[in-house]
Amino acid sequence: MSESVHTVTALPTERRTDCPFDPPAELLDARRHGPISRCTHPGGKPGWLVTGYELVRSVLADPRFSSRKDLLNVVDFELPPAPPGEFLLMDDPEHSRYRKPLVGRFTVRRMRMLTERIEQITAECLDAMEAGGTSADLVTAFAKPIPTIVICELLGVPYEDRASFQEQIDAFMGGEVSDEELIAAYTATQEYLARLVAAKRAHPTDDVLSELTDSDLTDEELKGISLILLAAGFDTTANMLSLGTYALLRNPDQLAALRADPSLTDGAVEELLRYLSVAKTFHRTALEDVELGGQTIAAGTTIVLSYHTANRDPERFADPHALDLSRQAAGHLAFSHGIHQCLGQQLARVEMRVAFRALVDRFPALRLAVPAEEVVLRPESADIFGVKSLPVAWDAK
């Protein structure tokens, strides 16, 4: 059996430009051969690629697969363990020690209480767009500022620091700058967060970070937690908003349906999450030999899980490559599954529900301001998929 297993020699680096929302053809092809394939990691190490929904979900629920950074077996040098507080790349019990004190701050109820404030932030972005004329880059005018302001308020970044803070995180998340600039921005963000933690400990304000100073977490750990909230929460949401708008503009019947029926909004957000899966792949490493889909994953081997392809699995979702805002998309893996399932998902949902609704209501004639072929996509090598910019236009009032 293992003789005939499908092999993906190198993980794909490009998408088809005519179908930018679909996983690269090589991944869809792998799924057609079966839910698991052999692959080679970009660093040259052999591994496995899991593309089937059921198999991806089962790995995510299986404690024999680790998220630890120092166990990643993809390059031929050893990786350091995740820094204190960066629990996305840790296993239990370390992971849960960090996640536990945060959970109560991100509940469905607490995030819904932010709705009005997020509506206000969104309206301010839309007002500024309108005041500026009849066209704009949706990424810089809308998709980035909304999650940035929300995260700043959550962490209690003082108002006067926001502009420079936003510039820094933009530089280190955007992947558009030189290595030196990237390191400088990353270091500056680290230093800023260290100062912020110290300030919150000395003078607590009304925000999540201040609340967390009232726990056994050290300043170093709080800095790591802030960094991960920022890194996990900003780029993902921003790209969902911009790529999601692009997907709606390329599917005018779906956009019209959403505009006509506000009760579609919550379901539309779930379907856009499934369809786009901007956090497209994650890694896990086998802690022992594990039988998976008829193959043996040897202890120490790192596997790639394609959440995007899993969310397009025809055995789980009928007509999976169609964007259908009225479908039951629950159960998608866009926020993962298992103990690392997104901590910020209820916040992200409120942001997306509010922002998409307000955008389609404000601009009834929203359209692309350039031909679709000219919309520049991020490279497939970026951790989070999306558009680099999205020129849009609307009619004057």
Partner 1 sequence: MTAPAPRLTADRGRCIGAGMCAMTAPDVFDQDPEEGLVLLLHTEPPAAHRAAARLAVGLCPSGALALHDGGGADDRPS
Secondary structure of residue 281 in the 3-state scheme: strand
31 or 57, CB closer to ligand HEM?
57
Q: Is 284 in the site for partner 1 (CB under 8 A)?
A: no
**Residues between 76 and 135 that touch ligand HEM (CB under 6 A):** 87-88, 99
27 CA to centre of own chain: 19
| Residue whose pair of structure tokens reads 């967060």 in the numeric block | 193
Shortest Å, Cβ 194 to ligand HEM: 19
Pair 121, 261: CB distance under 8 Å: no
Number of residues that bind ligand HEM (CB under 6 A): 23
Q: Choose the binding region for partner 1 from 44-52, 54-62, 126-134, 245-253 (rule: CB under 8 A).
A: 54-62
Shortest Å, Cβ 339 to ligand HEM: 6
Decide which of partner 1, ligand HEM, none touches 236; Cβ closer than 5 to 8 Å per partner kind.
Answer: ligand HEM
Q: Is 115 in the site for partner 1 (CB under 8 A)?
A: no
> Which phi and psi angles does 66 have, rounded to 5°?
-100, 150
Edge-to-edge strand ranges of the sheet holding 367-368: 135-137, 391-393, 367-368
Shortest Å, Cβ 141 to ligand HEM: 19
Q: Is 240 in the site for ligand HEM (CB under 6 A)?
A: yes
Query: Residue 38 burial (CB < 10 Å; 0-12/13-18/19+)?
Result: middle
Q: Choose the binding region for ligand HEM from 39-47, 77-85, 159-167, 328-336 (rule: CB under 6 A).
A: 328-336
Secondary structure of residue 40 in the 3-state scheme: strand
Residue in 329, 348, 375, 387 binding ligand HEM, rule: CB under 6 A: 348
Q: Is 99 in the site for partner 1 (CB under 8 A)?
A: yes
Q: Dihedral sign, CA of 165, 167, 168, 169?
A: positive
Q: Is 72 in the site for ligand HEM (CB under 6 A)?
A: no
Nearest to 244 by CA among 121, 360, 379: 360
Residue in 341, 361, 372, 374 binding partner 1, rule: CB under 8 A: 341
Report how far residue 383's alpha carbon sits from residue 277's, in angstroms, rounded to the nearest whole number.
11
Pair 271, 17: CB distance under 8 Å: no
Structure tokens at 317: 């979702």
296 bridge partner residues:
291
Pair 308, 281: CB distance under 8 Å: yes
Q: Is 237 in the site for ligand HEM (CB under 6 A)?
A: yes
Residue in 334, 355, 387, 392 binding ligand HEM, rule: CB under 6 A: 334
Q: Please give the residue ranges that form the binding site for partner 1 (CB under 8 A).
A: 57-58, 60-61, 96, 99-100, 103-110, 330-331, 335-339, 341-343, 345-346, 349
Q: Please give the residue ranges that form the binding site for ligand HEM (CB under 6 A).
A: 67, 87-88, 99, 228-229, 232-233, 236-237, 240, 278-279, 282, 334-336, 340, 342-344, 347-348
